[in-house]
Chains A and B, each alone.
Chain A
């Protein structure tokens, strides 16, 4: 147990400090002073912790920057029966996430300064994970008129995206990139050619044919990315591709980066940990957008993560209530919850030998932070004391029923995973501790 004191200083001792931003991986201690990190390092408190501080014994477990989740659907305002800012906040901190960036596809859409401020204000009041909104790139996410990007950015929007919809009109995308570049802002695309994906429910191929479901071809992702790369080339706007899931998509980003284009991308745990077989038996919890792809695609996503083509991992948390999922596959909504499985499934990349622990952690801390120009995801003196304490080796079985999220639609339900969040700290306050 921690020894309590009113000085505002908390010493986290006997920790394995992990800071992917600097490559720090060492035994040591960390000191927080109120909301910020006051000191950190291997030599800290070697002579013992001075009296007057609260002491937290980390018992040799990993102390790392709190996770930064760059793609979350919060469902508030508008669909509070699926998720609220509070339930998402609770799910986030249970998953070690201290900062999350939410999509604008709420009801009303986040395309006005007032809605950006509403989300920020509500999240601050709840006081769990920090919430930063993306704003819509186009008004009402209709893909026609540009949203007021400059003012929305001033109000706190971290980037601009039409969320679950691709910006389909090439001229609109060109102008969005061009206009956003005026302010150095980021455009986030859902890379899927809508007419090719229309009516599709899963990966196009043998399995879809056998199941009698219409498929979404890999080309839907590739064509949109190819088009967008041309537009980035002529606009030089900052472009980020969300949840890349195909070998072709990874290759297109790889080539664009080699050309020096200002392009980044992320993927989500389902796309490197699962393949299309997860939808067998019409399992609607594995009906995701983009769809789970073939094993070859999954492996290409892993390769993309290993060689840095894919910059970051986001949970792509998409809560759906039972009525949206306990229906025939064709009519089920797309999406899976992911906040509470983000860490362990990402750590699979380390446990499976694809990368080191610190490299895996980088994908969900400083890497998304850097893309979003967010001051988070680092163990830096003076930075906000947003931390996660976790046991990288502790195994558990995902049980969606016990999730803090209001919705339970996890494609990883029942999966054995390794890596457990023991404590989450936001602005120096412990907001989650694991009971057992």
Chain B
């Protein structure tokens, strides 16, 4: 484990993190992987701390992951869903911030459908904020868990060819991964139909492909993105059938990548839309379940790191 400084009050995105800070978080998470595999999963590091998961979008996977992470570190974890809450009754983010401040919590994990909303909230609350995904902007803990998964399998991040395939336009996972992988020296390729790749990507230090067969050549890691079925109605892509034909990952397209290339997916998967079950369930190649495991460890590392900073600033007062 490392005691390297993490000079940020919040974790709002990967953009703005130094490679050394990313490495510190990943190194710290390594220790938590071991702890989570042992029979004694609980540590009392965050005893007395309150963590609130404030989710304005439905998410079982991420919320559960954060909840487990907090509980395994000994914190009191509370989940707040937007459905049926004051948010539905028209309360603004700023009002919510005032309410949360009055509750004296220590860490707030926020997921919100609007890009930038988590940052706005972070400016108004007194606690540390972790971005659990904001609109199409960033999902930093997903990128960190992806990085940890890759590093454990490949032993490194630097120099790897990583292809991110699919709906980059709407994907916060893609943006955070682009920032992280670029920062750590990997080569990022984006593959998808032009309607799902927004303008300006070519200036973000990535290579852009519209042909999956060309884009997957020599690739070490294939990250598939989720296609949202609600976007399939002739607007961005003509049909699921056509999308899967050109951009779905199946055994044949996988064969173009390096023989030891691994498959990743942030979940939940649409089988037969962006990924074929045959490859998704291939235990040799698919790291999808490992990603879920790393998710808890990475989130423990983030909570650990941010509350250290909290302790320091409290000490300074």
Contacts and interface: CB of A to CB of B under 8 A. Distances in A.
Interface of A: 204-215, 217, 281-282, 323, 326-331
A213 B201 CA distance: 13
A215 B119 contact: no
Interface in B83-136: 92-94, 112, 114-117, 119-120, 134-136
B229 interface: no
B204 A206 contact: yes
A215 B203 CA distance: 16
Contacts of B286: none
Interface string B34-70: 0000000000000000000000000000000000000
A312 to B, nearest CB: 32
A211 B200 contact: no
A323 B136 contact: no
Contact of A213 (B93, B120, B136, B204): B136
Given A282-B116, A330-B114, A330-B135, A208 B198 contact: yes
B274 interface: no
Given A323-B92, A329-B115, A330-B115, A212 B137 contact: yes
B92 A326 contact: yes
A209 B199 contact: yes
Contacts of A206: 199-201, 203-204
Interface in B131-190: 134-138, 172, 175
B138 A209 contact: no
B13 to A, nearest CB: 10
B200 A282 contact: no
A43 B114 CA distance: 64
A285 to B, nearest CB: 13
Given A328-B116, A328-B120, A329-B115, A212 B199 contact: no
A340 B134 CA distance: 35
B93 A211 contact: no
Nearest to A323: B92
A212 B134 contact: yes
A212 B135 contact: yes
Contacts of B201: 206, 209
Nearest to B92: A327
Contacts of A323: 92
B198 A282 contact: no
A328 B93 contact: yes
B290 interface: no
13 contacts: A206-B199, A208-B198, A208-B200, A209-B200, A209-B201, A211-B137, A212-B116, A212-B137, A213-B116, A281-B119, A326-B94, A326-B120, A328-B115
B120 A282 contact: yes
**Residue of A206, A210, A211, A330 contacting most chain B CB atoms (<10 Å):** A210
Interface string B191-224: 0000000111101100000000000000000000
Interface size class of B (residues with CB under 8 A): 20 to 34
Q: State the 10 A-B residue pairs at the shortest beta-carbon distance, nearest first.
A: A206-B200, A212-B137, A282-B116, A212-B136, A328-B114, A328-B117, A212-B115, A330-B114, A209-B198, A209-B200
A327 B93 contact: yes
Contacts of B200: 205-210
A210 B15 contact: yes
Contacts of A211: 115-116, 137
Contact of B114 (A208, A281, A331): A331
A214 B116 CA distance: 12
A213 B134 CA distance: 11
Contact of B119 (A213, A217, A282, A326): A282
Given A205-B200, A209-B199, A209-B201, A282 B92 contact: no
Contacts of B93: 327-328
B205 to A, nearest CB: 11
Nearest to B119: A282
**Residue of B114, B117, B172 contacting most chain A CB atoms (<10 Å):** B114
A423 B145 CA distance: 62
Given A213-B115, A328-B115, A328-B116, A205 B199 contact: yes
Given A326-B94, A328-B115, A330-B115, A215 B198 contact: yes
A326 B198 CA distance: 27
B180 to A, nearest CB: 14
**Residue of B94, B112, B115, B172 contacting most chain A CB atoms (<10 Å):** B115
**Residue of B112, B135, B175 contacting most chain A CB atoms (<10 Å):** B135
A243 to B, nearest CB: 23
Contact of B115 (A204, A205, A217, A282): A282
A281 B13 CA distance: 12
Contacts of B134: 212
Given A211-B115, A213-B135, 18 more contacts: A205-B199, A206-B199, A206-B204, A208-B200, A209-B198, A209-B200, A209-B201, A211-B116, A212-B115, A212-B136, A213-B136, A214-B136, A215-B199, A326-B120, A328-B115, A328-B117, A329-B116, A330-B135
A432 B201 CA distance: 51
Nearest to A282: B116
